Amino acid sequence: MQLQLSTWQEVQEYLKTSTGIVIPIGSTEQHGPNGLVGTDALTAEIIGRALGEKTGCLVAPTISVGMAVHHMDFTGSMTYRPSTLISVIFDYVQSLARHGFTRMMFVNGHGGNIATTNAAFYEIYSHRQSAGMDNQQVKCLLANWWEGPETKKLCADLYPEGHGSHATPSEVAVTWAAYPDRVKYVDMEPVIAPTGRFTDAADYRRRFPDGRIGSNPNLATVEDGKRIIAASVNDLSVTYRDFLAS
């Protein structure tokens, strides 16, 4: 059930049965030669909405731009400053809390969002505490779609080599499963991209000239993507159920 495809009365009815909501959060940034710029927003949204279909939870509008300052030397990338993203998350949560939502699970598609999202949660808790509100009433949880046990095992089995950490075959496969007309295989040199650390956007571009880190996204297939989505939804269903009970 999507918030945006519901009427306000339907949302009111939903709140009588549950005060939980799932919020997909991603990023709009380069994903190598055959990954879509929207990969991290799309993966979070595809999996978040599939979770909504499986569990009946309400799914909020996706936060499609994230913290991607380090990707900005690649064309098409967009970013919020960390302070802006904190404000966006703060306002999402405060808006939903006003109507009675108490459990906000952010399904995340981008590793670069983790620090800022957790900072935002503490901004929210700090604000509510200062205002004398009960923090037990509103809880936020960040759930990375790739992190559950079934998903991790499946990705390790599918891609024992060349998974890497950016523009990975698993994330590319998830987007292709939902947008099969965007499947594209491209010659990449080297076949598996280098790995390593970086500082800012210029350093990233210099070390990883085509945008990939440690990955061979040509391993992705639509079929893999369907399996990864199902595995992630299974993992996140458990996370969400436990979160609601917390």
> What residue ranges bind Ni ion (CB under 5 A)?
40, 171
CA–CA dist 82, 84 (Å, integer): 5
Q: Smallest distance, Å, CB 77 to Ni ion?
A: 11
- Is the bond preceding residue 190 a cis peptide, omega within 30 degrees? yes
Nearest residue to the partner Ni ion, using Cβ: 40
Q: Which is nearer to Ni ion, 156 or 238 (CB)?
A: 156
Q: Smallest distance, Å, CB 171 to Ni ion?
A: 5
Strands of the sheet with 139-144, listed across from one edge: 58-59, 20-25, 103-108, 139-144
Q: Which is nearer to Ni ion, 1 or 72 (CB)?
A: 72
Look at phi and psi of residue 21 and say left if phi exceeds 0, alpha if psi is from -120 to 50, else beta.
beta
CB 193 within 8 A of CB 214: yes
CA–CA dist 124, 135 (Å, integer): 9
Q: Which is nearer to Ni ion, 55 or 62 (CB)?
A: 62
Q: Smallest distance, Å, CB 135 to Ni ion?
A: 31
Q: Smallest distance, Å, CB 233 to Ni ion?
A: 18
Q: Which is nearer to Ni ion, 145 or 240 (CB)?
A: 145
